[in-house]
Homo-oligomer: A and B are copies of this chain.
């Protein structure tokens, strides 16, 4: 064990840890002789164990001091576990339906013991690749986003509480830096970590690096990401950060959480749905057999934004006379003005969402970390065709996002590009 009390666990030492930790032992019915332990961390960063006992299961997640998918050559603050646990707890309080319970957090060990999200839950991205419809997805995700973003913004919080939260999450700077690098920087320059479907997309990747207007817009988004503390974000809300079953949607992996621009979370989800959309032709076993499924993805994109808009503005209405410091009721004191400020706020948020969503799409095609939606398309020529459509759409969206006023217009533009 290191002098700071940290020790990287393996499947054996994990058992000792569980025995010595009453809150976790209780969940397992203290049956340590029949434990089954499976390491399932398939993300980029952490070790994740599913621990099963006859009377119950838990998940134990431990952060190590480097990026797992790269190795010890890319160090990464293990304190991210503290921020992950804190976001899980704060978002869980605001939206218990869609955030798993935290049973135990050990700051020194960078270890979280939490709810095991049981089958038939699977990672949403895998469901999207398999062509599975989730009729409640847009409703659930919009609820999660509306509740967590509204209640951690100045629409609900006092300045005092807000600045206290901002200060705390400034400590998660290493994960913010990682996002800055992989989302806003590397795709637009030569970087050893970048890769793409070569040689098909070589010219596309080069064109990105030479697109002045695109790089101008990316700078504006990066500045918002770094400077604008609007709400407590999940910070990495792509389709692998959701576990879904037909009637349940659970948000996981919040170690990138910080106070940032709301559009970054909403855009991450919508951008990844658009990636899923453009990957479908690569998964079709015969021409057109994903046609209806593609329609469902587009409908989910539309519903997600529109439901989010409805729920978020309803929360605003509900709390317009509350303690939020942004719009004091004595000033924003007539229905016409209340409508005006909401319209302005939601239009700005819509444009942020499209911009960040586009940036998240681009980085998944030419940056360090790709998505299984495309990677699982074995034939490179076909994969690159899907990727190029997504890339071209993302470039347009990023540069021309202010010309869009409704989410339906975005979906129409996707369909136009896809014909």
Query: Does the CB pair B226–A162 fall under 8 Å?
Result: yes
Query: Does the CB pair A189–B330 fall under 8 Å?
Result: yes
Query: Does the CB pair B170–A164 fall under 8 Å?
Result: yes
The answer to the question of A207 belonging to the interface, with a C-beta cut-off of 8 Å to chain B, is: no
State in angstroms the CA–CA spacing of A15 and B188 once bound together: 62
Interface size of A in residues (CB-CB distance below 8 Å): 48
A321 to chain B minimum Cβ distance, whole angstroms, is 14
Interface centre among A159, A209, A332 (most CB of B within 10 A): A159
Query: Does the CB pair A176–B163 fall under 8 Å?
Result: yes
Describe A's contact surface by its main secondary structure.
Answer: helix
Which chain B residues border A223 with CB–CB below 8 Å? 154, 326
The answer to the question of A53 belonging to the interface, with a C-beta cut-off of 8 Å to chain B, is: no
Query: Does the CB pair A189–B328 fall under 8 Å?
Result: yes
The answer to the question of A229 belonging to the interface, with a C-beta cut-off of 8 Å to chain B, is: yes
- Interface bits A62-89 vs B (CB < 8 Å: 1, else 0): 0000000000000000000000000000
Query: Does the CB pair B188–A159 fall under 8 Å?
Result: no
A190 touches which of B159, B218, B220, B330 (Cβ 8 Å): B330
A88 to chain B minimum Cβ distance, whole angstroms, is 22
A290 to chain B minimum Cβ distance, whole angstroms, is 36
A177 touches which of B159, B180, B212, B215 (Cβ 8 Å): B159
Which chain B residues border A167 with CB–CB below 8 Å? 166-168, 170-171
The answer to the question of A417 belonging to the interface, with a C-beta cut-off of 8 Å to chain B, is: no
Q: Which residues of chain A in 147-168 are interfacial with respect to chain B, using CB atoms and an 8 Å cutoff?
A: 154, 159-160, 162-164, 166-168
Q: Which residues of chain A in 191-234 are interfacial with respect to chain B, using CB atoms and an 8 Å cutoff?
A: 209, 212-213, 215-216, 218-220, 222-223, 226-230
Query: Does the CB pair B229–A227 fall under 8 Å?
Result: yes
The answer to the question of A337 belonging to the interface, with a C-beta cut-off of 8 Å to chain B, is: yes
State in angstroms the CA–CA spacing of A227 and B215 once bound together: 24
State in angstroms the CA–CA spacing of A36 and B337 once bound together: 57
Query: Does the CB pair A185–B331 fall under 8 Å?
Result: yes
Query: Does the CB pair B216–A337 fall under 8 Å?
Result: yes
The answer to the question of A173 belonging to the interface, with a C-beta cut-off of 8 Å to chain B, is: yes
The answer to the question of A105 belonging to the interface, with a C-beta cut-off of 8 Å to chain B, is: no
The answer to the question of A336 belonging to the interface, with a C-beta cut-off of 8 Å to chain B, is: yes
Query: Does the CB pair B159–A226 fall under 8 Å?
Result: yes
Interface set of A (CB-CB < 8 Å, partner B): 154, 159-160, 162-164, 166-168, 170-171, 173, 176-177, 180, 185, 188-190, 209, 212-213, 215-216, 218-220, 222-223, 226-230, 325-328, 330-334, 336-337, 340-341, 344
Extra A-B contacts (19), CB below 8 Å, given A159-B173, A215-B337: A154-B227, A159-B177, A160-B173, A160-B177, A162-B226, A163-B171, A163-B173, A166-B170, A189-B331, A190-B330, A212-B334, A212-B337, A212-B340, A215-B331, A219-B326, A219-B341, A227-B228, A227-B229, A228-B228
